[in-house]
Amino acid sequence: MTRGPDIRLPIGAMFMMIGLLLALYGAIYERSVIGMAYFTTHLELCWGGAMLTFGGLMLVLGLHSRKTSSADPRN
Partner 1 sequence: MQGEIGLPHSARLAVVDYAVMLIYFAFVLAVGYALKRYTKTSTDFFLSGRRIPVWITALAFISANLGAQEVIGMGASGAKYGIATCHFYWMAVPAMVFLGIFMMPFYYGSRARSVPEYLKLRFDEKTRALNAISFAIMTIFSSGVSMYAMGKLFKLLLGWNFDFSMFMAAGVVLCYTFVGGLSGAIYNEVLQFFLIVFGFAPLALLGLLNLGGWSGLKQKLAVVSVQNGFAPTAYTQAWAFMGHSSQNPIGVEWFGLSMGLGFVLAFGYWCTDFLVVQRAMAANSMSAARRTPLIAAVPKMFFPILVVLPGMIALVASPTAPSRFSQTHTVQDQQVLPGTVRGIIPVKVDAATGKPLLNSRGVAVLDYDLATPMMVLHYFPSGMLGLGMTALLASFMSGMAGNVTAFNTVWTYDVYQSYIYRSGSDAHYLWMGRAATVGGVVLSVVAAYVAASFNNIMDVLQLVFAFVNAPLFATFALGMFWRRATGHGAFVGLVSGTASAAIHHGLSLSKGSMVGIKGGFLGDFITYPSELAQTFWTAIVAFTTCLVVTTAISLVTRPRPAAELRGLVYSLTPRAGIREPEWYRRPEVLAVIVLVMVIALQSVFF
Task: Give the 3-state secondary structure of residue 75.
Answer: coil
**Smallest gap from residue 73 Cβ to partner 1 (A):** 20
List all residues 6 or more positions away from 46 whose beta carbon is below 8 Å from its beta carbon.
26, 35, 39
User: Which one, 54 or 56, has the nearer CB to partner 1?
Assistant: 54
Q: How many positions of this chain bind partner 1 (CB under 8 A)? A: 32
CA 37 from chain centre, in angstroms, equals 26
Chain residues 13-72 in contact with partner 1, contact rule CB under 8 A: 13-15, 17-18, 21-22, 25-26, 29-30, 32-35, 37-38, 43-44, 47-48, 50-51, 54
